[in-house]
């Protein structure tokens, strides 16, 4: 346990998210809501999926990255940006920097999935590896940025990043209204909490009364436990998960302060439940979802949140998965189902 989520953390408002939507327009992909009759039959209700693997760079992270990088003053842009990430934020920042003609340096854990490393490098980023278990990635990023005179773009605990991710919530609200539907709940993957902080803020403003729930990997349910305790809880010691995108050691200070106000609760899912979600998304939606991107769908399909006779919106946050991991997920799901 560590310090409490303070009320002094910067607020992110619906107006901030609406401004971010204008900023990223024409740069980010406006992803649709999709559904499958077969998945609906599995749960006895209606699942509307927000497929952020169709986003530029294959995950929602481009939204917050572009919203942040595009606000760096012109005079500071030649020095570039620095970010630290297991892969999705890395790609988002590298892509945003490339679009704006800026250099980028990305700190990535040595065990990051190869597909994420190569995709980040393909955007022209310089990659510096670190040891996930031993190194302080934030301290390394600050030193690197100081040496270069560069701007650090955090993965989640920054108002501009949160506002950019919140554009997902705005799009959900617009699309369910177009469908003439008011969802019974929205379920969102949660690591450090930036995606769900932004999304839940947008939902609270644009779809008042609709509860938003976090989905986290078992053992890394630090946001769920933090909501209960009122303190920033750390991931459980020794916890392991293949949901590499959601292994932040604890929630952010800003994100938890927001999420304590906006979330209705959360659900922790096992690796087996995630594997089944990956397999069913591939089978019925024809979508490739990475483990971290599938946790919200796993929470619904496993019955952690009741979906029978209800309409649930699920954010699938990314699809950057190594082919070998994807194959093992399908095999694992087959074994679990048998």
The string of pLDDT tens digits covering residues 218-245 is 999 999 999 999 999 999 998 999 998 8
DSSP 8-state secondary structure symbol assigned to residue 55: S
| More confident of the two residues 112 and 278 | 278
**For residue 15, what is the enclosing H or E element?**
helix 14-24
Residues 266-278 as b/e (b if ≥16 CB within 10 A, e otherwise) read bbbbbbbbbbbbb
Q: What's the rounded mean pLDDT across residues 164-178?
A: 98
Q: Which CATH number fits domain 62-157: 3.40.50.2300, 3.40.50.1100, 3.40.718.10, 1.20.1250.20?
A: 3.40.50.1100
Q: Which of 112, 108, 103 lies closest to 72 in space, CA to CA?
A: 103
Q: Which of 225, 242, 244 lies closest to 233 in space, CA to CA?
A: 225
List alpha helices for 180-248, DSSP H.
194-206, 222-229
Q: Give the pLDDT band of residue 2 (cuts 50, 70, 90).
A: very low
Cα separation, 256 vs 230, in Å, equals: 9
pLDDT-above-70 percentage for the chain:
96
Residue 103, pLDDT above cutoff 50: yes
Residue 267, pLDDT above cutoff 60: yes
Q: What's the whole-number average pLDDT of the chain?
A: 94
Q: How far is CA 247 from CA 22, 134, 140, 220, 320, in A?
A: 31, 15, 18, 7, 15
Backbone angles phi, psi at 189, to 5 degrees: -60, 150
- What does the pLDDT read at residue 336? 58
CA 258 to chain CA mean position, Å: 15
pLDDT tens column, 179-189: 999 999 999 99
Length reported for the chain? 338
Cα separation, 176 vs 54, in Å, equals: 19
- What does the pLDDT read at residue 316? 98
Backbone angles phi, psi at 314, to 5 degrees: -120, 130
Topology (CATH level 3) of domain 14-59+160-337: Rossmann fold (3.40.50)
Q: Give the pLDDT band of residue 127 (cuts 50, 70, 90).
A: very high
Residue 9, pLDDT above cutoff 80: no
Dihedral sign, CA of 81, 89, 208, 32?
positive
Q: What's the rounded mean pLDDT across residues 50-60?
A: 97
Question: The sheet that has 151-152: what strands, in order across it?
Answer: 126-130, 104-109, 81-84, 151-152
Residue 5, pLDDT above cutoff 60: no
**For residue 274, what is the enclosing H or E element?**
helix 271-280
Taking a C-beta distance cutoff of 8 angstroms, is the pair 40, 293 a contact?
no
Residue 299, pLDDT above cutoff 80: yes
Using only the alpha carbons of the chain, give its radius of gyration. Answer: 18
Cα separation, 171 vs 161, in Å, equals: 17
- What does the pLDDT read at residue 116? 87
Q: What's the rounded mean pLDDT across residues 126-132?
A: 93
- What does the pLDDT read at residue 335? 64
**For residue 298, what is the enclosing H or E element?**
helix 295-301
Task: List the structure tokens of 288.
Answer: 């490739």
Residue 8, pLDDT above cutoff 90: no
Half-sphere exposure of 126 (CA within 13 A, CB side): 12
Task: List the structure tokens of 63.
Answer: 């939204």
DSSP 8-state secondary structure symbol assigned to residue 318: B
In the chain, residues under CATH classification 3.40.50.1100 are 14-59+160-337, 62-157
| More confident of the two residues 29 and 137 | 29
Residue 4, pLDDT above cutoff 90: no
Cα separation, 119 vs 274, in Å, equals: 24
Residue 198, pLDDT above cutoff 60: yes
Q: What's the rounded mean pLDDT across residues 35-47?
A: 97
């Amino acid at each position: 346990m560590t310090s409490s989520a303070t009320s002094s953390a910067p607020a992110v408002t619906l107006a901030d998210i609406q401004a971010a939507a204008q900023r990223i327009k024409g740069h980010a992909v406006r992803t649709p809501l999709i559904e499958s009759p077969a998945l609906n039959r599995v749960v006895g209700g209606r699942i509307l999926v927000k497929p952020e693997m169709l986003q530029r760079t294959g995950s929602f992270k481009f939204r917050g990255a572009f919203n942040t990088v595009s606000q760096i003053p012109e005079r500071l842009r030649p020095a570039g940006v620095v970010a630290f990430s297991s892969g999705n934020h890395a790609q988002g920042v590298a892509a945003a920097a490339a679009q704006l003609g800026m250099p980028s340096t990305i700190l990535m854990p040595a065990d990051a999935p190869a597909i994420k490393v190569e995709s980040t490098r393909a955007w022209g980023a310089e990659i510096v590896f670190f040891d996930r278990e031993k190194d302080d990635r934030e301290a390394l990023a600050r030193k690197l940025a100081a040496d270069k005179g560069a701007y650090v773009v955090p993965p989640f605990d920054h108002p501009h990043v949160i506002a950019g991710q919140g554009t997902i919530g705005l799009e959900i609200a617009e699309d369910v209204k177009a469908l003439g539907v008011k969802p019974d709940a929205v379920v969102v993957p949660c690591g450090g909490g930036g995606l769900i902080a932004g999304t839940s803020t947008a939902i609270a403003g644009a779809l008042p009364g609709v509860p938003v729930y976090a989905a986290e990997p078992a053992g890394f349910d630090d946001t769920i436990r933090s909501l209960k305790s009122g303190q920033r809880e750390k991931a459980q010691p020794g916890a392991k998960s293949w949901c590499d995108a959601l292994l932040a050691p604890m929630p952010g200070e800003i994100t938890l302060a927001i999420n304590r106000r906006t979330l209705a609760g959360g659900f922790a899912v096992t690796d087996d439940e995630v594997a089944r979600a990956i397999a069913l998304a591939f089978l019925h939606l024809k979508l490739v979802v990475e483990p971290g991107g599938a946790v919200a769908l796993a929470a619904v399909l496993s019955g952690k949140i009741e979906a029978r006779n209800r309409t649930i919106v699920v954010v699938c946050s990314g699809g950057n998965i190594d082919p070998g991991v994807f194959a093992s997920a399908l095999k694992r799901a087959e074994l679990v189902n048998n």
